[in-house]
Structure 1
Amino acid sequence: METTVKKSDFALAPYMKSNDLRATYQILNTVVPYLLLWFLAVKAAFISFWLLPPIMVLMALFSGRCFALMHDCGHYSLFRSKRVNRVIGFMLGAINAIPQYPWSRGHAYHHKTNGDWERYRGPSALISTEEFAKLSPSAQRRYELLRHPLMIFPGGFFYLAIKPRLALILGTYRFIGHLLTCLKQDPGIGLAKIISSHKSRNWYTAGEFWDLLFNNICVVGGWIFLGHLLGFGFFLSVYSITLTFSAAIFICVFFVQHNFDGSYAHKTEGWDYLRGAIEGSSYLELPTVFKWFAADIGYHNIHHLSERIPNYNLEACHNENRHLLADSKVLRMSDIPNCFKFILWDSASSRLVSIASFRQAAQSIVDTEPSFLDRTDQEKAIVKNVEA
């Protein structure tokens, strides 16, 4: 359904003003309790390990809130100053082991292409129904397994704890290979020319490299220091568990706010930015306590209309523009499990579909079409059936 509203119809500008006092208060009421919970966890471990689980639950929630505030810093919306957002964002990124600046640049691409599933396939790298039909049965099972809801736990840990370290190692290894190749071809070549001619797959700009490098220094250095201070067994156990659950929470929230029944999922040709924001992002209705820990990111449609609106203004902006959001999907916590089944993109009908519905359509084709159809013809028929 074509949207009849224009972006100019929304009252956004009054809510795009950052407030340094509110932002500072948010940092203090998030980072300080998180650090105190670590102190409390150490004390509790001396009494009984059974006291640790509730403390670790709170740690995971505060860690998730750190990520949400880091996300605002990446949009330069939490504080008024771009420099302050960069510094605080880097600090919050180090808490969650993720380099904030490279992450925020990648996230900005998501905002520019939201709803254009031909260019951006989401955090799970979804494929189209046509591509899925061409996979072998074992490859289809592997695709489905890697996108199972429970994979947000190992996937979340890999995303935060391992991927940034791996990116620096692989990127450095490839740069050394490029360096040796350049020196072999031209021994007199200057270092500046070698650096400028290198196109890394692990970072796109010098700024991203330095942020990635310093993040790794701070994170790995912090792991070593806290391991020596608290004991490696205790620290790594508590840290890895809380980091895993924290990552799983925000990956889950991000996923369901874009993957749901009826989500706007268009090709590049004819794609509309406004529909991507209004119909390709949901309003996730959360209980008050979870809204606070998520820094109101549930108002995701408003956030996509303008990423410069800080989290502390999202609810007020949403309430003022509610009458224009009739085409936005409203989700509740009970709807979250159902969202995880929408992991195929049907490009022809511009929607997301489940593997179950695709296989049901495939089975109906097998039952009704003549047996002499070859595999390619059957695949085309399956795709047409799903699109219908």
Structure 2
Amino acid sequence: MPYFLLWWLSLKAAAISLWLLPPLLVLLSFFSVGCFSLMHDCGHDVLFRSRRLNRACGFLFGLINAMPQLAWSRDHAFHHKTNGNWELYRGVADSHTVDEFLSSSGFQHKLYAGLRHPAMAIPGGFYYLAIKPRLDLLLGLTTRSTLKPWANKAEFNDFVLSNLITCAGALALGWWLGYGPFLGIYAAVLAMSAAIFIDIFFVQYIFEKSYARNSENWEYLDGALKGTSYLQLPAILRWFTADIGYHNIHHLSERIPNYQLRLCHERNQHLLADVPILKLSTMLECSKFLLWDPSVGHLVTIASLSDGRAAEVSRDSAQAVQQPRSAQGAGTEAGSAVPGSDG
């Protein structure tokens, strides 16, 4: 497997000169992103036809990224069921409403914006992969809180086993290869790979006029077509990310495997007129849309609040909130357009 070959080359390179490491670390990080994308597909039960094979491989792909897969997949399934309903799911950045933001202090404003700066994806990504699963297990075992990271016995067993293998593997490999080189490379790869897929995941939902309704005005298909984007990526990045840039299609039918997403996208252009199209060059611009304004039904920037809570945006969007578009049949068409899309 290229991932493990790159690990071997990285350790050899580190023994010669640290200046040889950066290109190998970048490649390792992208292969780690690929493994996370395949773990994601296993969670949807679509990478293989066998449910057991999806389960086993999902667990192994999760180990590569130090992430217990079963609980992650259940949480991800909730995101799919509620995407665009920001009353139930506030997105990857846990966005505040305009009123919540305005009611907080100036220091809290700066802290809120600072924690959601694109550069925070690196330390945030390291925390998400390297620390959070271990901390969640520790807190789940030592506190009486009903908010456990696992929902049932199967998830608990998966959570414990994944964490035990991750920690034991890190200790054993550190003892064998040297804790300095191993942990240094491992930490860098986890931080970089998590930053990549956090940023890619972020712009799938966070962009100008992204569909963001309350429960009363929410439509599932509008959430898929207007609340997710089509992220145009170069061919090499499409390969590493398992074509997750076709995210609108993925949300229309999560039963479509990654290797069919592009074909399904091409065959259903007539359904995708309202889908936002993003590019790598526009990703940074999307990071400004940090607040949810329920009165207009989409995301706004902090800067827009100085202009009367974005009055001009409200005028453009009021009708869309009052008359949610119905897209009956779109999900069925998208899911049936590709042979074998039932997994």
1:201 positional shift: 2.8
Normalised by the size of structure 2, how large is the TM-score?
0.89
Question: 1:147 corresponds to which residue?
Answer: 116
User: Between the two proteins, what is the percent identity of the paired residues?
Assistant: 53
1:319 positional shift: 0.5
Q: Which runs of 5 or more structure 2 residues have no equivalent in the other structure?
A: 316-343
- Distance in 2 (CA, whole Å) between partners of 1:325 and 1:385 is 26
- Distance in 2 (CA, whole Å) between partners of 1:340 and 1:239 is 28
* AA at the equivalent of 2:238: K
1:198-237 equivalent positions in 2, closer than 5 A: 199-237=146-184
User: Equivalent of 2:51, from 66, 82, 89?
Assistant: 82
Answer with 1 or 2: which has the greater Rg.
Answer: 1
Contact residue 130 and residue 383 of structure 1 kept, 8 A: no
Question: 1:248 corresponds to which residue?
Answer: 195
Contact residue 129 and residue 345 of structure 1 kept, 8 A: yes
Question: 2:217 corresponds to which residue?
Answer: 270
User: Equivalent of 2:231, from 284, 290, 295?
Assistant: 284
Question: 1:156 corresponds to which residue?
Answer: 125
Normalised by the size of structure 1, how large is the TM-score?
0.79
**1:282-337: CA deviation from partner (whole Å, max 9, x where unpaired):** 00000010110010000000000011111000000000001210000011110100
1:202 positional shift: 2.8
Q: Does 1:314 align with 2:264?
A: no
1:142 positional shift: 1.0
Contact residue 346 and residue 387 of structure 1 kept, 8 A: no
Give the ranges of 4+ consecutive aligned residues of structure 1 lying more than 6 Å apart after TM superposition.
Answer: 383-386
- Distance in 2 (CA, whole Å) between partners of 1:85 and 1:121 is 29
- Distance in 2 (CA, whole Å) between partners of 1:309 and 1:61 is 23
- Distance in 1 (CA, whole Å) between partners of 2:128 and 2:45 is 23
Contact residue 71 and residue 149 of structure 2 kept, 8 A: no
Match of 2:290, SS? strand
Contact residue 11 and residue 182 of structure 2 kept, 8 A: no
- Distance in 2 (CA, whole Å) between partners of 1:297 and 1:141 is 32
- Distance in 2 (CA, whole Å) between partners of 1:105 and 1:294 is 21
1:47 positional shift: 2.3
Match of 2:215, SS? coil
- Distance in 2 (CA, whole Å) between partners of 1:200 and 1:67 is 25
- Distance in 1 (CA, whole Å) between partners of 2:225 and 2:312 is 28
Match of 1:284, SS? strand
- Distance in 2 (CA, whole Å) between partners of 1:200 and 1:125 is 17
Q: Does 1:46 align with 2:6?
A: no
- Distance in 2 (CA, whole Å) between partners of 1:385 and 1:316 is 38
- Residues 206 and 166 of structure 1: CA distance in aligned 2, closer, same or farther (over 3 Å): same
1:208 positional shift: 1.6
Q: Which runs of 5 or more structure 1 residues have no equivalent in the other structure?
A: 1-31, 179-197, 363-381
Question: 1:108 corresponds to which residue?
Answer: 77
1:46 positional shift: 2.5
- Distance in 1 (CA, whole Å) between partners of 2:151 and 2:313 is 38
Q: Does 1:302 align with 2:249?
A: yes
Contact residue 278 and residue 305 of structure 1 kept, 8 A: yes
Match of 1:342, SS? coil
- Distance in 1 (CA, whole Å) between partners of 2:256 and 2:230 is 16
Q: Does 1:361 align with 2:330?
A: no
Contact residue 170 and residue 202 of structure 1 kept, 8 A: no
Question: 1:340 corresponds to which residue?
Answer: 287
Contact residue 74 and residue 100 of structure 1 kept, 8 A: yes
Q: Does 1:94 align with 2:63?
A: yes
When the two chains are superposed, the root-mean-square deviation of aligned CA atoms in Å is: 1.4
* AA at the equivalent of 2:129: L
Question: 2:141 corresponds to which residue?
Answer: 172
Contact residue 238 and residue 244 of structure 2 kept, 8 A: yes
- Distance in 1 (CA, whole Å) between partners of 2:10 and 2:200 is 27
Contact residue 25 and residue 189 of structure 2 kept, 8 A: yes
1:200 positional shift: 4.1
**1:236-257: CA deviation from partner (whole Å, max 9, x where unpaired):** 1111011100000000000001
1:356 positional shift: 1.1
